[in-house]
Amino acid sequence: MSQPFSATLRIAVLFGKVGPALLSVGTLVLAWELYARLSGISPTTLPAPSRVLAQAIQQRQALFDNTVPTISATLAGFACSLAVAFILSMLIDFFKPLRSALFPLFVISQTLPLVAIAPLIVLWFGFGLTPKIMLVALVTFFPMLVALVQGYASTDRDISALLHSMGASRMRIFRLARLPSSLPYFFAGLRISITYAVVGAIFAEYAGAAKGLGIYMLNAKNNFRSDLVLAAVLVSALLTLVLFAATALIQRAAMPWERLDAARKS
């Protein structure tokens, strides 16, 4: 475990994983830079990436000030959505008819166009944190609920039968078998939802907010500063990546057996 070369080895492995991604992103940025410089297109229409980066650095204080509310809205909304999804998933697991009663409703909630719904929610609930939390919850709640319900259903029937034969109550079976069985599904849902969550928060801010990346983008656009719009996009993309990586790390810590399973299967 603690051989001297293992750190280097790990970095090499890591690079093997992220290398291709860096290469594809790098190529894209390079092509964009060349096009912006050589085609003679106006920087207000399409600023070069170098210019976006320079502006982002110059405006870092403003960007930072506007990122903090977006992060809090994202995390608060996501936490609410998780809590509600968890409680509802449990209820559905215990009372199956609830599923057919509620799922159509939730499916419909997923078809609502954000562009239409965001301004309405802001209109009803004001410029504060509440409408952002609601929008983030709206876009993340259903994927999390589906993931959890599916996860419970994936429980090995032999394990359930075994616990039943041992005299375990339904609640006990849920805690000992169904809940742990749902973890892989839960984390898959989490990774997808966390990206939706950032988009949801920005949308809500775009529709009206005192501060936030969404409102920052709107203002920049109104001032014909597409370079600042893109700088804010860059920040939101980085934010999403960081949250995504965080969920992956949490998953590794929460499911130490998973890598063993994967190693055995491959």
List residues binding another protein (CB under 8 A).
156, 158-159, 161-168, 172, 176-177, 180, 183, 255-257, 260-261, 263-264
Closest approach, Cβ 252 to another protein, in A, equals 14
Cβ closer to another protein: 163 or 231? 163
Q: What angle do CA 32, 36, 42 make, to 5 degrees?
A: 145
Paired tokens of 242: 């960081």
The structure tokens 């709640």 sit at 141
Cβ closer to another protein: 162 or 237? 162
Paired tokens of 195: 């990206």
Closest approach, Cβ 259 to another protein, in A, equals 9
Rounded to 5, what percent of the chain is helix, strand, coil?
85, 0, 15
Closest approach, Cβ 147 to another protein, in A, equals 17
Cβ closer to another protein: 245 or 260? 260
Closest approach, Cβ 184 to another protein, in A, equals 10
In angstroms, the Cα distances linking 173 to 82, 158, 224, 237 are 22, 12, 59, 41
Q: Round to whole Å and give the CA distance between 38 and 53.
A: 19
Residue 149 exposure: Cα atoms within 13 Å on the Cβ side:
22
Cβ closer to another protein: 16 or 256? 256
Closest approach, Cβ 156 to another protein, in A, equals 6
Cβ closer to another protein: 113 or 167? 167
